[in-house]
Chains A and B, each alone.
Chain A
């Protein structure tokens, strides 16, 4: 029997992309600006989110979705202690959040009260890059101790982001991290990328990030 070739040309994760588009439309309709924060484990995602919440707490209400691979609520508890609504999503061992999980998380938040939604993805530089969640922007937090070669080793995640944070800048004197080599890799993959070097420990660089974010949120809520 002869086989017949059926042309398809369909993106492998197109189903996720469609659901992400639904999330995006829903959040726009609710007037909520949304960000997806990706990073390796230990880069400082939760510390960075807390700095962001503290910095904006008199200006807007922030909802947070915490993605974790296990049923631990350490991160969500910290957010709630900081006075903002948080939802924990346990991915059941999965290495990333996807659009369906995020849709489930969104529905558990007090959507009429919040102006900004922050999603903390699972700590991983590979898988989250492939799954659009439907947020307005995607952010990567790199950190100095991870090393300056990460753009070269994980190109996909650097390609798909709108903002790059380089955290733990206070450790630069103690670690052999070549800023020029790091930024060269970033420039090849994502020319003109918005970039904030920060330290969540000293607070350096955080005001510039907050000011940028506040402008984005206000413009989106017009």
Chain B
């Protein structure tokens, strides 16, 4: 539900960097979003088409790189990934887990034309 605020931030960040780089046009925006971030791609795309219309980013394609949640078991040192539901270590069953990644939520880069 907070995708509008998120989309506005993506636009502000992209717009700032595009202007600093002397861009005439932004062709694509590359986003990295981890499995543990609760963000819906479709909603961002929907808002994007509306709010970017008056900006230098108009028509830019949003590319979403989804990263899985990577976990490490502190008991048996097993590394595993979570695609759907959170679970304890599938090898030894321990809930003593360290979350290594999956919370990424950033603008990685933009593609511009000068």
Dominant secondary structure of chain A at its interface with chain B: mixed
Can you name 30 A-B residue pairings with CB atoms under 8 Å? A3-B112, A3-B113, A4-B21, A5-B111, A6-B17, A6-B109, A6-B110, A6-B111, A8-B17, A8-B107, A9-B108, A12-B105, A12-B106, A12-B107, A14-B13, A16-B9, A96-B1, A127-B2, A131-B2, A155-B69, A155-B86, A156-B36, A156-B38, A156-B103, A184-B95, A185-B86, A185-B95, A188-B71, A188-B88, A191-B97
Given contacts A127-B1, A156-B36, A156-B37, contact A4 B112 (CB under 8 A): yes
Query: Measuring CB to CB, which residues of chain B are less than 8 angstroms from any residue of chain A?
Result: 1-2, 5-6, 9-10, 12-14, 17-18, 21, 23, 27-28, 31, 36-38, 69, 71, 85-86, 88, 95-99, 103, 105-114
Contact with B along A3-27 (1 / 0, CB 8 A): 1111111111111100000000000
- The list of the 5 closest CB pairs from A to B, nearest first, reads A95-B1, A127-B2, A3-B111, A184-B95, A188-B97
Taken together as a complex, chains A and B put the C-alpha atoms of A7 and B17 apart, in Å, by: 9
Q: Which residues of B contact A185 (CB under 8 A)?
A: 86, 95
Q: Does A124 contact B (CB under 8 A)?
A: yes
Q: Does A129 contact B (CB under 8 A)?
A: yes
B83 to chain A, nearest CB (A): 13
Question: Is B95's CB under 8 angstroms from A188's CB?
Answer: yes
Contact for A8 among B36, B97, B110, CB less than 8 A? B110
Q: Does A28 contact B (CB under 8 A)?
A: no
Q: Does A159 contact B (CB under 8 A)?
A: yes
Q: A7-B108, A11-B105, A188-B97 are in contact. List 10 more A-B contacts (CB 8 A).
A: A6-B23, A8-B108, A9-B106, A12-B106, A96-B1, A127-B1, A185-B86, A185-B95, A187-B97, A188-B99
Given contacts A127-B2, A155-B36, A188-B95, contact A13 B105 (CB under 8 A): yes
Taken together as a complex, chains A and B put the C-alpha atoms of A8 and B38 apart, in Å, by: 22
Given contacts A156-B38, A159-B103, contact A5 B109 (CB under 8 A): yes
Question: Is A8's CB under 8 angstroms from B95's CB?
Answer: no
Given contacts A4-B114, A6-B21, A124-B1, contact A12 B99 (CB under 8 A): no
Contact for B109 among A8, A13, A187, A189, CB less than 8 A? A8
Contact for A15 among B9, B96, B107, CB less than 8 A? B9
Given contacts A4-B113, A155-B36, contact A187 B95 (CB under 8 A): yes
Taken together as a complex, chains A and B put the C-alpha atoms of A189 and B88 apart, in Å, by: 10
Taken together as a complex, chains A and B put the C-alpha atoms of A16 and B8 apart, in Å, by: 12
Q: Which residues 160-215 in A have Cβ within 8 Å of B in the complex?
A: 184-185, 187-189, 191
